[in-house]
Amino acid sequence: MPPESTEGLLRALVVDDHDIVRLGVRSLLGARFDVREAHDARTALACLAEAPCDLLLLDLSLGDDFGLTALPRLRAECPGMRVIVLSSLAEDLYAERALKSGADGFVSKSALTASLLDAVDTVLAGRVYVSPAMRESLLRRVGGPAPARPDLSPRELEVLRLVAAGRSTREIADTLNRSVKTIETHKQALKVKLGADSPAQLVRVALQWTGEAR
């Protein structure tokens, strides 16, 4: 049977290191998009260099890659595309940071089927998509003083994710191609910002903030 024509379809790139997620997104978007897939940031950059796309769907946890760090490079490769972050990480921690890094929307994987199509329509129309609860939180923050919340850099968020995943300082240093001393400095800054008095407490706080299980 000959392949279906993709003529006239918008182009989408799904970047996720789990086959089942890429398959699920493809099944949801296949009627409207010519969907390509990538399992990491490097492959995604190569795909965009080969052919631009209209919509990028990006996971944050890409094995040893961190989607938030890769996002500015991906957007620079294809400035006109719309970007939706798909993540199992906590929306209240990562959505605003993702938007500041260049995303147009944030969809939690726990609500993927129910929310993705709405998010796609929203960002393609030039608007920003977050969940109703997150939208309300952002509006409250604009409307009045927000509760104090530590401002973590993208690198600190990356280290925090790896701490939550149970990585040792040496493993984090190797993963991020940084020195052990640099990672220790980031972890010390995280302990101060997050009020963690010990390495064990930092792990507990990291798990709470990122929503990851060890």
Residue 176 sits in a domain of what CATH number?
A: 1.10.10.10
Q: What pLDDT, on a 0 to 100 scale, did the predictor assign at position 147?
A: 47
Boundary of a domain, candidates 94, 109, 143 = 143
Tokens of 37: 């897939």
Q: Between 15 and 30, name the one with better pLDDT.
A: 15
Whether 143 shows a pLDDT value over 60: the answer reads no
DSSP per residue, 163-205: HHTT--HHHHHHHHT--HHHHHHHHHHHHHHHT--SHHHHHHH
Tokens of 28: 């949801």
Compute the average pLDDT of residues 19-46. Answer: 91
Q: Are both 120 and 98 inside the same structural domain?
A: yes
Q: Are both 113 and 162 inside the same structural domain?
A: no
Q: What pLDDT, on a 0 to 100 scale, did the predictor assign at position 112?
A: 65
Q: Between 195 and 54, name the one with better pLDDT.
A: 54
pLDDT tens sequence across 87-138: 888 788 788 888 888 899 999 887 767 688 899 999 999 888 988 877 777 6
Tokens of 159: 């280290």
Q: Which domain holds residue 189?
A: 154-210
Report yes or no: 17 and 39 within 8 Å, Cβ to Cβ: yes
pLDDT tens sequence across 149-186: 677 888 888 888 888 878 888 888 888 888 888 888 88
Q: What pLDDT, on a 0 to 100 scale, did the predictor assign at position 213?
A: 39
As a whole number of angstroms, the distance between CA 85 and CA 105 comes to 6
Query: Which sign does the torsion angle of CA 104, 121, 33, 92 carry?
Result: positive
Q: What pLDDT, on a 0 to 100 scale, did the predictor assign at position 3?
A: 44
Q: Are both 139 and 160 inside the same structural domain?
A: no
- Whether 53 is in a domain gets the answer yes
Whether 2 shows a pLDDT value over 50: the answer reads no
Binned at pLDDT 50, 70 and 90, residue 214 comes out as very low
DSSP 117: H
Q: Are both 104 and 26 inside the same structural domain?
A: yes
Q: Are both 161 and 130 inside the same structural domain?
A: no
Q: Are both 129 and 158 inside the same structural domain?
A: no
Q: What pLDDT, on a 0 to 100 scale, did the predictor assign at position 180?
A: 87
E strands present in 7-166: 10-15, 33-38, 55-59, 61-62, 65-66, 82-87, 105-108
Report yes or no: 9 and 32 within 8 Å, Cβ to Cβ: yes
- Give the chain's domain count: 2
β-bridge mates for residue 55, sequence order:
12, 82
Report yes or no: 57 and 15 within 8 Å, Cβ to Cβ: yes
Q: In 14-66, which residue ranges form alpha helices assigned H by DSSP? A: 19-29, 41-50
